[in-house]
Each structure stands twice: as C-alpha cells, then as structure tokens.
Homo-oligomer: A and B are copies of this chain.
Amino acid sequence: MKKAIGIFDSGLGGLTVLKVLAQNFPHESFVYLGDIARLPYGNKSPETIRKYGDQILRFLKDQGVKAMVIACNSASTVYLGEKSFEGIPLLNVIEPGARAALENGTDKIAVLGTSATIRSHAYEKTIKALSPKTSVVEIACPLFVPLVEEGVVHNEITDLVIKRYLETVKSEKIETVILGCTHYPVLADDIRKYLGNVNLVESGEVLTTELRALNFVTYQSTRQIRICITDVTDHFERLAKELMYPETLGPLEKVIL
C-alpha cells in the first residue's frame, strides 16, 4: 500500500516547499499538483480560489494520499481553520507560519505576501489570536512572484523592488519576517542583503514540524516524487528545475482538472 503526501500550489512556487519536505522526509513519497493553467491565485476572489482548490484536493485524494498540504498562501487563506478535507488531514501554510514566527519571541512581526494573502489579513488574525499584544505589519509584494518566475533575481532591479516594498520593515527594525508566499524563499538572500540579520520564516521548515506531529506510517521502501501540472510549457519545465535545485526531477505529468 502506497500512501504519499499531497501538496498543491497555484503554480510551481510550492516546489520550494516540496524540496524542503523531500529532504526532511527522505522515505516519504509525494504528489505535487501545480495549477499552472489557472495561476496566479494571488489576484482571484475567495469564491474562485475555493472552486479551484476543491477540484485539486479531490484530485490529490484520488491519488491515495494520507495528508494534504496547501502550499499556496493565497489558497491557504480560504481554507483557514479546516483540519481535513473529505476525511484526509489538511494542512495550510498560514497557521504553522504564524506559530513559528511567534517562537522567535519578537513583539513585532512583518508579513510579506501576494495581494490576496495580505488583503485576507489571514496572518494578522492568526497571530493576534495566539498573541494579542504582538503587532503585525502586512506588506503586499505583488512584483516578487514575476521577478522569481522570470529569473530576475540577485540584481539591481530586484534590489529596487525589495527596497520599494521593505523600507518600512527596515526603518521600524522588525526582526521577524514571514515569507508568506512560496516563491519568496528564492529571494531570501536578496532580502537579507537589504534587511540585514533578520529571522525569515519559510513555509517548508514550519510544515516539517506539523507533518511530524501527524505520526505517519511510512509504507514504501522506494519513494516516489510525482509532479503534476495543469498545463505544460518549456518555461515551467525550466522553472521547476531551478526551484527544485539541487534535487533532480523526473518528467512533469500533465493532468486535466
């Protein structure tokens, strides 16, 4: 009996999460679904995101997974507080991220995310519920995803865009910053270059802790990592390789939802 862990994202950004989980759970199998045909979710309404999300969770369930991770912050905001989907344990990235940020013991936390994530105030609400005194600064960084997708990183355009969004974080000397979008870990070095020595909270690490707590039985001796996408272009093949590096990648599978 083979039971994998299911992961979904609107596109390939969630591969930064898959990479970390694959390294931390070397004996588990994974099925990833990137909804490339309909990305980005960051500008879509909650109703549309739920419609697409439910289709994807049902697809993952049909693959026989034992747990499902929504590795997409925009989608996570819609499924907040839901612990299972049709009987399968369901994790999102918001709640673990908020808890991990609070473990740094700071009184002020910055949250970076897409427009949809920030507009939902999902991180702020979750942090405030756990620690009402913590002040939360939320910043929408809508250009970060296209920069990462186009490989425009580690240069002066990236530096100017980072400065545009993060001037407040720097001037207010905020020490804990949640990278509230799975694309953003690719910019971690550039962000550190601008902000100096801050705690950057990334989804992959915080989800590792959450998944460990589920106490899985691991069935398979040889693990399998499947990456399914709803559309295929050369661009995404290349981007997938870059995001998963140094992990090697099998061929991407196209699925129709």
Contacts and interface: CB of A to CB of B under 8 A. Distances in A.
A198 interface: no
Interface in A111-170: 115-116, 119, 142-143, 145-147, 149-150, 152, 156-157, 160-161, 164
A142 B115 CA distance: 20
B143 A147 contact: yes
A231 interface: yes
A124 to B, nearest CB: 18
Contacts of A235: 43, 115
B233 A45 contact: yes
A232 B49 CA distance: 12
Contact of A146 (B45, B142, B164, B231): B142
Interface residues of A, number: 29
A193 interface: no
A48 interface: yes
A44 interface: yes
A240 to B, nearest CB: 13
Given A231-B44, A233-B43, A160 B150 contact: no
A236 interface: yes
A235 B115 CA distance: 9
A233 B41 CA distance: 12
Contact of A157 (B48, B119, B142, B161): B161
A192 interface: no
A37 interface: yes
Interface in A218-235: 231-235
Interface in A36-50: 36-38, 43-45, 48
Interface of A: 36-38, 43-45, 48, 115-116, 119, 142-143, 145-147, 149-150, 152, 156-157, 160-161, 164, 231-236
Given A45-B231, A45-B233, A143-B150, 13 more contacts: A37-B38, A38-B38, A43-B233, A43-B235, A44-B231, A45-B232, A115-B235, A116-B233, A142-B146, A142-B149, A145-B146, A157-B160, A157-B164
14 contacts: A38-B38, A43-B233, A43-B235, A43-B236, A45-B232, A45-B233, A48-B231, A116-B233, A142-B146, A143-B147, A143-B152, A145-B146, A156-B160, A157-B160
